[in-house]
Structure 1
Amino acid sequence: MFYIVLLAMVAGFLALRLYSVLGKRTGHEPLPKPAEERVGAPVAPRTIDATPEQREPTAKPFEAGAENGVRAIIAAEPGFDVSRFVEGAQGAYRMILEAYWKGDESVLNDLVEPRVAEAFGEAIAARREAGQTLDNRLVSIERALISGAQVNGRDARITVRFDADIAAVTRDGEGNVVAGSTSDAVETHDVWTFARTLRSDDPNWKLADTDEA
C-alpha cells in the first residue's frame, strides 16, 4: 500500500495537509484488507528471516472501549485503515506541535479546526507580546493509542492518547532560558480528537479538540 505518512513529510509537502494519511487509501493499493485486519487483529511483524515460530502478534492500536466506534467508521467508509490512521496521527501530532512552537499559524490553519486554530493563535499572540519564544523538541512518542471513536451521521471523531517525551524551553527576547531545561525531557500525556466528514470529497482529518490525560 502506498500511503502518504505525515511523519516523513517535509515543508514542501505541507500544502497536502493531512491528505490520505489518517486512514484513507490512494486508489493504487490492493483490495481492502478484511475488516478483522483493519481493526487491528494480530498480524505477524514484517521480518524477512523470521520463522512462523519466531513471529509474535502485535497489539491492537485501540482500547477495548473504542472498538465499536472503530468498526462503525469502517462500516461507513470501507477504505479506512485503523493502523494507518494511528501512524498518520503520530505524524500529525509532531507537525502540529512543531507549527505551534514556531508560531506558524498558516500551517496550523490547514491542520486544525477553526476553534482550535483560534485558541492556538491567542496563545501564540500572547507569547509574542511577552517577547518569548519556544525552543521545544519532541524527543519521542512512546505510545499512540485510540481511546475513543464515534460516528454521528457522517461526522466521525477519533480520540488518540499520546504518551510522549518533550524537551520544553522558553526563552526571552535575548535568548535567555526563562523556563524549562535544554537537557531534560518531560513526560507528557495528551488526548487529541480528530474529526472528519465521512465519504466527503475532503479526505483530511483535522484536530478538533485537545486535552491532557
Structure 2
Amino acid sequence: MVEIVLLAMVALFVGLRLYAVLGQRTGHEQQPVARPDTPVARDPVGGTADAPADRVEPSGLVYEQGAANGIRAIISADPSFDVARFLDGAQAAYRMILEAFWKGDRDELDFLVGGDVRAAFEEAINAREAAGHVLHNRLVAIERAVIEDARLAGAAAEIVVRFDADIAAVTRDAEGGVIAGSLSDAVETHDVWTFRRDLASQDPNWLLVETDEAA
C-alpha cells in the first residue's frame, strides 16, 4: 500500500489537501529529488540491513547522516515508506502551507497543519486582518530540501526537513499601498519544519507540527 497518495491532477491536488501531498509523485514538484543508485537493503521481516540507505551525495542529498537511524526505524515500522517520495511531497507541502498562510486560508491550513503551529498561524492571520494588511508573497524557488532528522516514538513518526528557498514578499495596507517588501527582490529563506504522522492510524496525513528558522 502506498503510504500517501499524491495527485496527478491539479483539481484533485487542491481538493484532497495534505492527504495527497506526502507520497507519490505528481510531476509538479518544484525540485524532484534523485533516487539513489543503491536502495535500502531490507531483511525478511521488513527491517533494514546496514547497506546504504536512500542517501545521495553530494548535490542530490536526500537526508543527513544523523537522520539515518530514525529513517530506518520508520521504514521498519512502515515498509511502504519511501524517503525520496516523502521529500518530494514535503516540498509540495511547503508551497501549499506558505500560500495558504499568505492568503489567510484557514480551511486549507486545517488539512495541513496541527498543534501549536496551527494556533500560531491563526493568531498571525487574525492580527494581519485586524490591521488591514494583505500579503502578496511568492515562493520563487526551493533551492534545497533535505531531511535533517527523523525519529520514531512509539507509533509517532517525526521527520525534520530543512528548506532553503527564495521568497519575494510584499505587505500592503487596506488601500493597496506598500508597507514593506518588494516582489522584484527575492529574499533567501531558511526554514526547518517538522512533520508528524501516527503510523498506527489509518489516516495517511503528515501534519506540520513545528517550524523554526535554520541556524
TM-score between both structures, scaled by the size of structure 1: 0.81
Match of 1:22 in 2: 22
Q: How many pairs does the alignment contain?
A: 192
For the residues of structure 2 that align with 1:159 and 1:116, how far apart are their CA atoms?
14
Match of 1:179 in 2: 180
Superposed displacement of residue 58, structure 1: 6.8
**8 A contact 1:160–1:191 mirrored in 2:** yes
Match of 1:51 in 2: none
For the residues of structure 1 that align with 2:118 and 2:140, how far apart are their CA atoms?
24
Cα distance change of structure 1 residues 65 and 175 upon mapping to structure 2, 3 Å threshold = same
Match of 1:40 in 2: 54
CA offsets 1:47-72 (integer angstroms, 9 cap, x no match):
xxxxxxxxx99744000101111111
Match of 2:197 in 1: 196
Match of 2:77 in 1: 76
The RMSD of aligned alpha carbons is 2.7
For the residues of structure 1 that align with 2:188 and 2:151, how far apart are their CA atoms?
28
TM-score between both structures, scaled by the size of structure 2: 0.80
Cα distance change of structure 1 residues 5 and 140 upon mapping to structure 2, 3 Å threshold = farther
Match of 2:120 in 1: 119
For the residues of structure 1 that align with 2:62 and 2:79, how far apart are their CA atoms?
18
CA offsets 1:13-71 (integer angstroms, 9 cap, x no match):
3332222542479xxxxxxx9524994155xxxxxxxxxxxxx9974400010111111
Match of 1:164 in 2: 165
For the residues of structure 1 that align with 2:71 and 2:130, how far apart are their CA atoms?
43
Cα distance change of structure 1 residues 99 and 122 upon mapping to structure 2, 3 Å threshold = same
How do 1:31-110 and structure 2 match up within 5 A? 35-36=40-41, 39-41=53-55, 59-110=60-111
Superposed displacement of residue 182, structure 1: 2.0
Match of 2:209 in 1: 208
CA offsets 1:104-126 (integer angstroms, 9 cap, x no match):
00100111114211110100000
For the residues of structure 1 that align with 2:52 and 2:80, how far apart are their CA atoms?
9
